[in-house]
Amino acid sequence: MNDSEQSQTSEAEPGELGLVEWVDFVSEDTFDFENGGSIPGFTLRYETYGRLSESKDNAILICHALSGDQHAAGVYKLKDRKPGWWNNMIGPGKPFDTNRFFVIASNCLGGCQGSTGPGSINPETGEPFNLDFPVISILDMVRAQKRLIDHLGISKLYAVAGGSMGGMQVLQWMIEYPDMLDRALPMATTARQSAQAIAFNEVGRSAIVQDRDWHGGAYDPEAGPNVGLAVARMMAHITYLSEEGMEDKFGRARRTSEPSGAKGLFDVEFEVESYLRYQGASFVNRFDANTYLYFTKALDRFDLYKNGKLEESFKDVKAKTLVVGFTSDWLFPPQQNRDIVHALLRSGKIATYAEVSMSLGHDSFLVDAPELDALVRAFISQ
Amino acid sequence: MNDSEQSQTSEAEPGELGLVEWVDFVSEDTFDFENGGSIPGFTLRYETYGRLSESKDNAILICHALSGDQHAAGVYKLKDRKPGWWNNMIGPGKPFDTNRFFVIASNCLGGCQGSTGPGSINPETGEPFNLDFPVISILDMVRAQKRLIDHLGISKLYAVAGGSMGGMQVLQWMIEYPDMLDRALPMATTARQSAQAIAFNEVGRSAIVQDRDWHGGAYDPEAGPNVGLAVARMMAHITYLSEEGMEDKFGRARRTSEPSGAKGLFDVEFEVESYLRYQGASFVNRFDANTYLYFTKALDRFDLYKNGKLEESFKDVKAKTLVVGFTSDWLFPPQQNRDIVHALLRSGKIATYAEVSMSLGHDSFLVDAPELDALVRAFISQ
């Protein structure tokens, strides 16, 4: 185990976790994937924040979104420019209060931040899996997390929480392991991927697989399909924001004055262009194209409806559930979040829906906002 | 002049235009672009439907959207699979009734369907302009159309109509040539491009200019940046539809059953993917990447606000105006259309707004729908 808790206390600002470390959990048992194929074992890279109680009843599992990872809170080095992706939610005195809870975040199976994924070495060949990696589903991600939770000796999670693809994992936890969690907190998510969301993912995948540097997935990690991946990310990033949010943040603000000639016409002109290009370029530096392909497919195939009904999937659910939707989220709009709660209620479960008015679109769940903070704090404290 | 009217009458189905032909108008006078640069003359390819009255007072100019052209109605050959892009609106007995009106549609300056654009030969070099083509604006498109209207001997247009980029041209006509039109009918448009719309265009441009086959704009027309252009089109096509419309049309319908392995995982699986790929591939066959770049820049730079106010631009407008917005249009949402009308009204102009409830998104203006048909018919008949 890591000793991050010790370094935190000595280095952290008040109310902040400070320094954290990741740990690798290695499962040496064969893992069979939902849709066929298996691997002889896997690594999940994870982080923990706070202390596990003696009775092991205070653990909260955090599930990440498409481009997230195990680094949900704190910093690796004091000079890190940014803390983990949900640092506003996780820490001493925060909604996921590390003075009280033991918070666990792992990089999903199939990921590219240390967990086993398409870019990992296939022990049977000594080469990267690439497209030999089995098709991964949200259920596979959750089953791999279950092994980590077992390894930590936790028989029941206090809560499982996450937004977007993380919210899908929460729903899957509720269904697959109903006795293993007391509270479920899916946000900005859906019980089945919409046609529009599939369409956006397909454009991103098209940009990647048609990039000549993709090489059928067998690219050199140092020279991957960077153009395709950056274009995919730029486009996806728009879907994480909102028209109103973009208007407020960028409007028609210019980076340069209007060039008079056509030379340089397609360089950055508006601030929003600069922002998107930065998002694309920085994503390429931290993310693997094959993981992007596999994860978007997992999203697109996610569908908890059975014969048009969601209740059937929820029949064994035991967790108390709060679903949070965001008014300006048009990727997983409020209605898709409400539908989850309505199906839970129709199934006689304890569930409630909160809709937070924020203008920042799908990414609202990642933003520090008092209303969201209070909702999560109250639900987790119940 | 062409003799399309004759062939129409002999070949057409009742209520349809039937066979039409295009004509090239050549202006041999220097054309100076709004943002600098000039060309020694230009061609506009255009079509006309119906007959110009002796007093030349029955002409309606139709302006096309980003990917449209001069072929607004009728067919070139009887076996054409599709008629012109606004065939439901233009023809005998239709809202733009060719029994009564002389309807003109031209391919915009900068275009790639016969009008002079980046792909045309620069007479000074004998080579294609490519990026030596001056930066084009919506105002330039309108000024070029004005030369065509002058050439046809028309001193006042009965109406100017168009949607999307065509709607921007209508607004520009109202402002630039207030004495030259009696009625204006902009639809599904905006008086200034939003940050989100710029962002989507920038993703498309990024896909094109980073395609290795773009070659700084100097590509062989037979081997252009096809991947980039197809990706740009696929993405843009999503913005022309709506979440609801895509859900109704495609939902999660599959083209193939779920493949069990990762081989073929990124081939077409869902119907919506198949549809988008088809849209991308067919666009590449009919559209030029440099025109796409120039036109999207013209859209992004379009901004009729002066010091935050739109009224200033509208102060000399004389045309009666009907602006039509569509409830499900999220590219140029209803509010952006209403804003145009409100500014016209504040300026003391005759203007009204109609919002049509349709679930098909931005492309609603292109769809045959009784409510839209009736609105246009009534406005044009007034």
Q: Is residue B1 over pLDDT 60?
A: no
The pair of three-digit structure tokens given for residue B148, joined into one six-digit string: 């065509």
Q: Which of A211, A300, A362, A364 is catalytic?
A: A362
- Total residues belonging to chain B: 382
Tell me the chain A residues in contact with residue B196 when contact means C-beta distances shorter than 8 Å.
238, 241-243, 246-247
**Pairwise CA distance, residues B70 & B83, whole Å:** 12
Count how many pairs of residues, chain A against chain B, have C-beta atoms within 8 Å.
180
User: Given CB atoms, is A345 within the 8 Å cutoff of chain B?
Assistant: no
Q: Is residue B2 over pLDDT 50?
A: no
Mean pLDDT value of segment A295-324: 97
Q: How far apart are the first and last CA of chain A?
A: 30
Question: How high does pLDDT run on average in chain A?
Answer: 95
**Which of B260, B266, B268 to mutate to test binding with chain A, by most A CBs within 10 Å of its CB?**
B266
- Percent of chain B clearing pLDDT 70 (strictly above): 96
Query: How far is Cα of residue B321 from the mean position of the Cα atoms in its chain?
Result: 19
Per-residue pLDDT at B158: 98
> Dmax over Cα atoms in chain A, in whole Å?
70
**Which of B265, B332, B360, B362 to mutate to test binding with chain A, by most A CBs within 10 Å of its CB?**
B265
DSSP secondary structure of A321-357: EEEEEETT-SSS-HHHHHHHHHHHHHTT--EEEEEE-
Residues flagged as binding site of A = 233, 363
Residue type, B298: A
User: Given CB atoms, is B243 within the 8 Å cutoff of chain A?
Assistant: yes
Per-residue pLDDT at B113: 98
Query: How far is Cα of residue B279 from the mean position of the Cα atoms in its chain?
Result: 17
3-class SS at B32? Answer: strand
**Pairwise CA distance, residues A131 & B262, whole Å:** 6
Mean pLDDT value of segment B16-36: 96
ipTM for the complex?
Answer: 0.94
Q: Are B27 and B59 a contacting pair, CB within 8 Å?
A: no
CA distances in angstroms from A100 to A9, A49, A53, A283, listed in the order given: 15, 10, 9, 34
Residues flagged as binding site of A for substrate = 233, 363
Query: How far is Cα of residue A340 from the mean position of the Cα atoms in its chain?
Result: 19
B4-193+304-381 has CATH 3.40.50.1820 classification: yes
pLDDT in tens, A335-374: 999 999 999 999 999 999 999 999 999 999 999 999 999 9
pLDDT in tens, B247-282: 999 999 998 776 666 778 888 999 999 999 999 999
CA–CA min distance B40, chain A (Å) = 17
Mean pLDDT value of segment A91-116: 98
pLDDT in tens, A148-170: 999 999 999 999 999 999 999 99
Q: Are A103 and A62 a contacting pair, CB within 8 Å?
A: yes
CATH architecture of B198-297: Orthogonal Bundle (1.10)
**Pairwise CA distance, residues B133 & B35, whole Å:** 12
Among B163, B330, B326, B167, which residue's Cα sits nearest to residue B240? B330
Per-residue pLDDT at A9: 46
CB contacts under 8 A, A 106-135 vs B, are 131-135
Report CB contact under 8 Å: B260, A333.
no
> Dmax over Cα atoms in chain B, in whole Å?
70
Domains A4-193+304-381 and A198-297 share a fold: no
**Pairwise CA distance, residues B185 & B323, whole Å:** 6
Q: Is residue B340 over pLDDT 60?
A: yes
Q: Which helix (H) or strand (E) holds A145?
A: helix A138-151
Between CA B363 and CA B366, with CA B365 as vertex, the angle to 5 degrees is: 70
Which of A19-23, A304-308, B249-253 shows the lowest per-residue confidence on average (mean pLDDT)? A304-308
Mean pLDDT value of segment A311-319: 97
Tell me the chain B residues in contact with residue A210 when contact means C-beta distances shorter than 8 Å.
227, 230-231
Q: Are B195 and A245 a contacting pair, CB within 8 Å?
A: no
Q: Which helix (H) or strand (E) holds A175?
A: helix A165-176
The pair of three-digit structure tokens given for residue B221, joined into one six-digit string: 């027309």
Domain map of chain B by residue range?
4-193+304-381, 198-297
